[in-house]
Structure 1
Amino acid sequence: MYAERVLSGMRPTGRLHLGHYHGVLANWVRLQHAYPCLFFVADWHALTTAYDEPGTITDNAIDMVVDWLAAGVDPEKATIFIQSQVPEHAELHLLLSMITPLGWLERVPTYKDQQEKLTHKDLTTYGFLGYPLLMSSDILIYRADKVPVGEDQVPHVEFTRELARRFNHIYGREPGFEDKARESMKKLGGKGAKLYGELRNRYQEKGDGEALEQARALLHEAQSLSMLDRERLFGYLEGGGKMILVEPGALLTEASRMPGLDGQKMSKSYGNTIALREDEESIRKKIRTMQTDPQRVRRTDPGDPDKCPVWQFHLIYSDDGVRQWVQEGCRSAGIGCLDCKQPVIDGVLKEQEPMRERARIYEENPQVVKDILAAGRERASILARETMADVRAAIGVSYG
């Protein structure tokens, strides 16, 4: 139940670009080989700011999933699904809203920041205020212990940890908990129970983080424990009650180094993107017409790669030999700007070639995408229903 599990999602904004690939998708592809992963389309999240544009969400969602699959996300290794098709997200969101202090939501850094940026949109809505809580519900419903985020998203993960801690504190203490936990310890066997007790004492008395991790590993590996025994011993280990919701950790990812065609961050709002499945000729044209060092007016003028947006692409797509050729050729006017751009064109097209091949299957057979999402929904729903059964029982609204 508390096995390692990664969860991440993206809002459906339509087709993705190279910034999304280098910033998120390449990391997802790596993670799916290391952990059980759940990747979801955050369509309800899209409504927190695009509530007046509902007609675009469905098509955008499908286009985005095709891009995921094209990038190498494997539906055999990762669970891919749409948020709104697993209604337990909304139920947990509602129940957690009963215990979430209003001040916690108002202090989330992006709350006022987004309001200031999106001045054309009325964001004084309940849904926008509560979107960090919905985000927490997305994580907690799957008891995911790893959430890949950039540094700017770490406060959201910490918010989720505090929320899980608050829920477990309010609802996790069952009558006779400590006696029941000691009974559960016996099921570890004599040696296992002794080791668990020693590790628990080291953690609680000295704050020994290594002891905490060893004890968690012991519980993960113990075959003799029922789900209920395991819940109790996780809670007993950390000095709380029965652990119902799992506190997630932030899996820090590097910020995308992918620049836009104009040197700014690659973004649709700047109109400087290359899409993941863009036509080859369009890519060639975009890169050939990229702006370069403004001081290099004529072919015979020397340039400075550090002042040229094309150089930022070389840092991603070129090896050391090509980079040295660019630095020397540009500064001496030994190569022209079109010469400099050709290795970048070759690098982008080479990167996208397997993506186009994978995408073709789904573009020609849209039903395959729907089948993948349906299978993902079923797998995600099983996990979500398990969590909600425990949550309802803890709160006291289980009538089974």
Structure 2
Amino acid sequence: MKRILTGDRPTGKMHLGHFVGSLKNRVSLQDEYETFIMVADVQALTDNYNNPEKVRDNVLEVTMDNLAVGLDPKKVTFFIQSQIAEIAELTVLFMNLVTMEKVMRNPTVKTEIAQKFKDGSVPFGFINYPVSQSADILFLRTHLVPAGEDQRPMVELSRDIAEKFNATYKTDVFPLPDLKVGEFGRLVGTDGNAKMSKSLGNTIYLSDTPEEVEKKVMSMYTDPARIKATDPGHVEGNPVFIYLDAFAPNDQRSTINDLQTRYRGGQVGDIEVKKYLAKILNAFLAPIRARRAEYEQNPDLVREILRQGTEKTRREAVETMKLVRKAMKIDYFA
């Protein structure tokens, strides 16, 4: 069976953007692939090194969010990145296979540096994290990475490193991983920003209460040129309608088509459309909230899922490193 590797930085609870970008694919693929979910605490520390409590506190949070959307711990392996020492070893070996210029051309890295390190003082660990992320992907000899479109440069770098390793050492240790992006790729934020992000404060969390969801939806950005309900409105690019397309069940399609027609014709106001969206989102989130509540009441079960998964993953990592050392002629005591 082919393998999936994907994961999340434990810096906060997960939101609708995560669901659209990756979580939905994880759930649908868990029966077809051997699936590993990494809680990427080492990655999180690259820009939270001075706040390790934040990272530690969110390890269970992101695990519960994954479980809540329907990932089955009997089918899916959850593990904590920092507990797999072989990833760090592989990162060091991979650093010889990629140039600094290539890493710095990565658009995701450039964007995050601009957002998070405005004073220009960037930890080297952050600059190096694309190489570390390649090790994250490849140490399990992964075939598929379900992730958001913004992760494409990272997966492409992983492919480049795998290809160069295999060619340099005349081996086939690493398959070339592919990226699988969700149907919508990237969900805009509630403020109309191109990406929903914790750091931008434009999120609807999977764990938000019905009241919190309604409050956020009612304050959503729509069509700035529309002053009153009788003004013709734009549906294309309108976050409210984007969310309806992403989360409304198929049996609501005729209602959405009607709202779109009336919105374009100035026959329905933003408030009515937003109230409908809040209803749709809360219906979508209700079973997720219910599953999450069960895990919140039993945190020891979540820890045990992580412990067992990490032990299993470590065994796989050891096997990969045996193959790597043999290919590189550094298996001195094998």
TM band (smaller chain): 0.7 to 0.9
Give the deviation of 1:369 after TM superposition.
0.7
Matched, 1:350 2:279: no
**Inter-CA distance 281–369: structure 2 relative to 1 (3 Å threshold):** same
Q: Is this contact kept in 1: 2:12–2:198, CA < 8 A?
A: no
* Aligned residue number for residue 210 of structure 2: 280
Q: CA deviation at 1:95?
A: 2.8
Cα deviation per residue 1:323-348 (whole Å; 9 max; x = unaligned)? 23323444555544433223212210
Kept after mapping to 1: 8 A contact 2:10/2:44: yes
Deviation of 1:354 after TM superposition, in Å, equals: 0.8
Pair 1:359-2:292 in alignment:
yes
Task: Say whether residues 1:378 and 2:307 are aligned partners.
Answer: no
Distance of 1:288 and 1:268 partners within structure 2 = 19
1:167 corresponds to which of 159, 165, 168: 165
Question: Does residue 312 of the first structure (1) align with residue 242 of the second (2)?
Answer: yes
Aligned residue identity for 2:126: F
CA contact (8 A) 2:233 2:266 kept: no
User: Given the alignment of the two structures, is residue 246 of structure 1 paired with residue 175 of structure 2, yes or no?
Assistant: yes
Q: What CA distance in whole angstroms lies between the structure 1 residues aligned with 2:220 and 2:180?
A: 35
Question: Does the CA contact (< 8 Å) of 1:23 and 1:255 recur in 2?
Answer: yes
Aligned to 1:143: 141
Distance apart, 1:150 and its partner CA: 4.3
The alpha-carbon distance between structure 1 residues 114 and 356, as it changes in their structure 2 partners (threshold 3 A), is: closer
- Root-mean-square deviation (CA), in Å? 2.6
Q: Say whether the 8 Å CA contact 1:86–1:381 is kept in structure 2.
A: yes
- Conserved 8 A contact 1:142-1:387: yes
In structure 2, how many angstroms separate the alpha carbons of the residues matched to 1:303 and 1:262?
A: 21
Any unmatched runs of 5+ in structure 1? 172-240
- CA offset digits 1:244-296 (Å, max 9, x no partner): 33332333444445333233332223322211011112222332344554555
- Give matches, 1:256-271, under 5 Å: 256=185, 258-264=187-193, 265-271=195-201
For residues 167 and 331 of structure 1, what CA distance do their matches in structure 2 show? Answer: 55
1:74 maps to which residue?
72
1:84 aligns with 2:82: yes
Residues 70-79 or 90-99, more deviating: 90-99
- Give the 5 Å matches for 1:283-294: 283-294=213-224
Tell whether the 8 Å contact from 1:48 to 1:128 is kept in structure 2 after alignment: yes
Which amino acid in 2 is paired with 1:281?
E
Evaluate the alpha carbon distance shift between residue 133 and residue 334 of structure 1 in structure 2; reply closer, same or farther with a 3 A threshold: closer
Pairwise CA distance, 1:12: 1.5
Q: Deviations over 1:201-241 (max 9, x none)?
A: xxxxxxxxxxxxxxxxxxxxxxxxxxxxxxxxxxxxxxxx3
The residue identity in structure 2 corresponding to 1:249 is D
Identify the match of residue 155 of structure 1 among 146, 153, 156.
153
Residue of structure 2 equivalent to 1:387 = 320
Task: Determine if contact 1:293/1:303 at 8 Å carries over to the other structure.
Answer: no
Change (3 A) 1:114 1:333: closer
**1:338 aligns to what?**
271
Aligned to 2:26, which of 5, 25, 28? 28
> d(CA) in 1 for partners of 2:118 and 2:192?
26
**Structure 2 counterpart of 1:284, which letter?**
E
Q: SS of the counterpart of 1:16?
A: coil
Is this contact kept in 2: 1:150–1:254, CA < 8 A?
Answer: no
Counterpart amino acid of residue 263 in structure 1 = G
Q: Is this contact kept in 2: 1:150–1:255, CA < 8 A?
A: no
1:53 paired residue number: 51
How big is each residue's C-alpha offset from its partner over 1:60-110, in whole Å with a ceiling of 9 and x where there is no partner?
Answer: 221111111111121111111111111111121123334544444344444
Tell me how far apart the structure 2 counterparts of residues 139 and 380 of structure 1 sit (CA, whole Å).
12
1:399 and 2:328 matched = no
Q: Which residue of 1 aligns with 2:124?
A: 126
Post-superposition Cα deviations, 1:16-71, rounded to whole Å, max 9, x if no partner, equal 11111111111111121221111101111112222222221011221111111111
Contact 1:37 1:79 in 2 (8 A): yes
Question: Of the candidates 233, 252, 255, which is equivalent to residue 322 of structure 1?
Answer: 255
TM-score by length of 2: 0.87
Percent identity of paired positions between Structure 1 and Structure 2: 37
Measured in 2, the distance between the counterparts of 1:127 and 1:257 equals 27
